């Protein structure tokens, strides 16, 4: 009987690990399914970085030039893409093309991943039959834009980091260090120098009202963002940025380079001029160029030329106006626009280099004045210890 009863018990014990393994596998499968669904949802609104879009465009242009069908190109890129969300985007685009839709129709389903310029260039490539060549052009445009953006960001990283460090250091001095000196000076019983008294009062204010300062900074950030999102606020911001000291000239040149490069790329690819102006307007990011594109579109629709509008717009420099006019007279507007874009790219690189060289000594002087001023103000009573202590000398 004991032997008979032990068999089912052993069998039950052997089945428990299997049940536990099945349960664990079911949990992992459910987690994987939930993660996949979350990625699927994000793919509909996924904002693809311009650098990743440039790489994707260059790769698909190279594969198409090698003679591979579009669906196989997308399949290869889907397999090698490390971004899980963008992999889903490529998969869905490939599925749309496999169902008989065009490439441009498929990428329009993901407007956040593929910008207006990319979609329009794909349409132009499909219409002309030279999709690989046109995608190679737009890939070069994206790469030059990313390169310039990285240079500007790298030039801005150092001053932002130093200014942030200076602000943090000043706050530490005001909140933690100056109160120690204030308690020491209080025992002197004499009137403190004006700079020292000002720093002590500022320190007391920050210690008592730090929450109000933080709340005020957040309110300025929040309502400033709300204002900038309005048409009038955006116009005010763009006009200020272009005329801002030090960086305004650089921002102006970047806007001009982007305008010329985008216009030349689209025109050379066979995109109609009115559609080109729409894309240039949306890709510019500046209200001055948007206004100019709208004015040019009206003027061209009435039989006018682009140079005639540029000649009356103060945002565009005289050199650019003459180059465009020469391009119109020779039938080579896109070539002239590319030359202007190259010129401003070189100018932007030179400006970034000059600003980098100029900012370093300015920041050193700034830190010396701020931190040194605080230290001098706090040690001033010690230097005048005899007078502060009641004229003991």
The domain limits of the chain are: 50-114, 140-393
Phi and psi at residue 100, to the nearest 5°: 105, 0
- C-alpha–C-alpha distance, residues 182 and 196, integer Å: 9
Does the pLDDT at position 248 exceed 60?
A: yes
The fold for domain 50-114 equals Receptor-associated Protein (1.20.81)
Q: Convert the pLDDT of each residue in 264-279 to its tens digit.
A: 888 888 888 898 898 8
Does the pLDDT at position 388 exceed 80?
A: no
**Phi/psi-derived region of residue 193, left when phi > 0, alpha when psi is between -120 and 50, beta in every other case:** beta
Does the pLDDT at position 14 exceed 60?
A: no
Residue 135 near residue 122, CB atoms below 8 Å: yes
For Cα atoms 325, 326, 330, give the angle at the middle one, nearest 5 degrees.
120
Question: Residue 379's CB: how many other CB atoms inside 10 A?
Answer: 12
The pLDDT, as a whole number, for residue 20 is: 54
On the CB side of 62, CA atoms within 13 Å amount to 10
Q: Cα torsion for 369, 372, 373, 379, to the nearest 10°? A: -170
The pLDDT, as a whole number, for residue 167 is: 85
Which tokens go with 23?
Answer: 């349960």
Does the pLDDT at position 391 exceed 80?
A: no
Band of residue 63 on the pLDDT scale cut at 50, 70, 90: very high
Q: Cα torsion for 207, 209, 212, 218, to the nearest 10°? A: -20
Residue 345 near residue 149, CB atoms below 8 Å: no
Residue 249 near residue 347, CB atoms below 8 Å: no
Does the pLDDT at position 13 exceed 80?
A: no
* CA dihedral sign, ordered 57, 62, 68, 73: negative
| This prediction's pTM | 0.75
Residue 209 near residue 231, CB atoms below 8 Å: no
Residue 281 near residue 293, CB atoms below 8 Å: yes
Least confident stretch, 10-19, 70-79, 82-91, 232-241: 10-19
CATH class held by domain 140-393: mainly alpha
Which tokens go with 290?
Answer: 């948007």
- C-alpha–C-alpha distance, residues 27 and 135, integer Å: 44
- C-alpha–C-alpha distance, residues 281 and 272, integer Å: 14
Does the pLDDT at position 320 exceed 50?
A: yes
Q: Is it true that 50-114 and 140-393 share their CATH fold?
A: yes
């Amino acid at each position: 009987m004991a032997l008979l009863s032990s068999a089912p018990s052993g069998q039950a014990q052997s089945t428990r690990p299997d049940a536990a393994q099945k349960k664990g596998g079911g949990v992992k499968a459910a987690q994987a399914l939930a993660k996949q669904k979350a990625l699927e949802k994000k793919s509909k609104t996924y904002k693809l970085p311009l650098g990743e879009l440039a790489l994707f465009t260059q790769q698909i242009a190279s594969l198409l030039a090698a003679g591979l069908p579009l669906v196989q190109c997308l399949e290869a890129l889907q397999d090698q893409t490390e971004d899980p969300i963008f992999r889903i985007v490529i998969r869905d685009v490939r599925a749309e093309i496999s169902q008989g839709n065009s490439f441009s129709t498929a990428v329009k389903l993901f407007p956040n991943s593929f910008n207006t310029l990319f979609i329009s260039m794909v349409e132009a490539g499909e219409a002309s039959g030279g999709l690989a060549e046109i995608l190679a052009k737009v890939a070069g445009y994206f790469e030059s834009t990313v390169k310039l953006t990285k240079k500007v960001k790298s030039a801005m990283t150092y001053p932002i980091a130093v200014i942030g460090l200076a602000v943090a250091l000043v706050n530490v001095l005001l909140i933690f260090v100056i109160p120690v000196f204030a308690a020491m000076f209080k025992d002197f019983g004499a009137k403190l120098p004006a700079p020292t008294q000002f720093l002590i009062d500022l320190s007391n204010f920050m210690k008592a009202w730090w929450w109000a300062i933080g709340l005020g900074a957040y309110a300025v950030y929040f309502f400033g963002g709300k204002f900038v999102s309005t048409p009038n606020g955006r116009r005010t911001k763009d006009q200020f940025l272009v005329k801002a000291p030090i960086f305004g000239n650089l921002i102006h040149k970047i806007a001009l380079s982007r305008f010329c490069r985008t216009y030349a790329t689209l025109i050379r690819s066979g995109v109609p001029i009115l559609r080109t102006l729409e894309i240039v307007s949306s890709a510019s990011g500046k209200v001055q160029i948007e206004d100019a594109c709208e004015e040019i579109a009206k003027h061209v629709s009435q039989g006018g030329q682009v140079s005639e509008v540029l000649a009356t717009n103060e945002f565009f420099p005289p050199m650019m106006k003459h180059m465009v006019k020469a391009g119109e007279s020779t039938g080579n507007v896109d070539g002239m626009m590319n030359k202007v874009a190259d010129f401003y790219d070189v100018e932007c690189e030179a400006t970034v280099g000059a600003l980098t060289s100029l900012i370093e000594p300015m920041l050193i002087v700034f830190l010396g004045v701020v931190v040194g001023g605080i230290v001098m103000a706090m040690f001033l009573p010690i230097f005048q210890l005899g007078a502060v202590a009641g004229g003991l000398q």
